[in-house]
Structure 1
């Protein structure tokens, strides 16, 4: 399961993607939430993703998130901010007695859900996908690239004002 969050206070975007051990799509959804921040959106996505997996008995579960903070909150390593404490309690209740691992992935490994979250930003309403063929074409490409384990690199260029001394 790969998750995505909104960025700043205000309307946020939530997306999660459930994939089987072969990397094939099982379910993906994306939606706007009324108000929150990146932590609230990430928290909501993780909770909804785990609930979906529990409802359909998809075990064991590996949650991949690009939020290192959420991983640390869920594992009890960092102190939990009040704005997500109730949802985090729900997540830990869902995890009790189940095999649910939480791993941090880099932003580049989260392209699929990032694209889906941006997709709902431009097309109002909740979107749900239950098969590969239902996905937008760019999402199909991102899923295939990820399954083929092709690197997705993010390259940033230095500004022109940097001086190099020999």
Structure 2
């Protein structure tokens, strides 16, 4: 896949009863699904922080992301990260990602 092909990052936020609070999608200039999933999680968390929504449960259909969030990966150096992980960190370091959680 070419890195210039647009992709999308989408998310939805529901309350404890399953009612939809917000659904959103953005176009990103990256064709890697892992990157799109990570961006979707970041914008979902940003929405929850901005709207003071506590007790967040994050779900993903990406086993890699679930394993990372559950702490099943431990990388001690940048070079040992998978290439997609290095790319995400590089993009973030250079302010390429559109949304940051502060």
TM-score, normalised by the number of residues in structure 2: 0.69
Matched with 1:55 is 50
Secondary structure of the corresponding residue to residue 58 of structure 1: coil
Across the two proteins, how many residue pairs are aligned to each other? Answer: 83
Q: CA deviation at 1:76?
A: 3.4
Runs of 4+ in 1 over 6 A off after TM superposition: none
Greater RCO, CA 8 A, separation 6+: 1
Alpha-carbon separation, structure 1, partners of 2:71 and 2:59? 17
C-alpha RMSD of matched pairs (Å): 2.5
Alpha-carbon separation, structure 2, partners of 1:62 and 1:8? 33
Matched with 1:85 is 89
Query: Any unmatched runs of 5+ in structure 2?
Result: 76-80, 93-100
2:38 to 43, 47, 60: 43
Q: CA deviation at 1:69?
A: 0.5
Q: Go from structure 1 to structure 2 and tell me whether the alpha carbon gap of 1:8 and 1:47 turns closer, same or farther (over 3 Å shift).
A: farther
Report which of the two has the higher share of strand: 1
Matched with 1:32 is 27
Q: CA deviation at 1:8?
A: 7.9
- Give deviations 1:32-89, integer Å, cap 9, x for gaps: 11224111101100000001001101110000100110122233322442022365xx
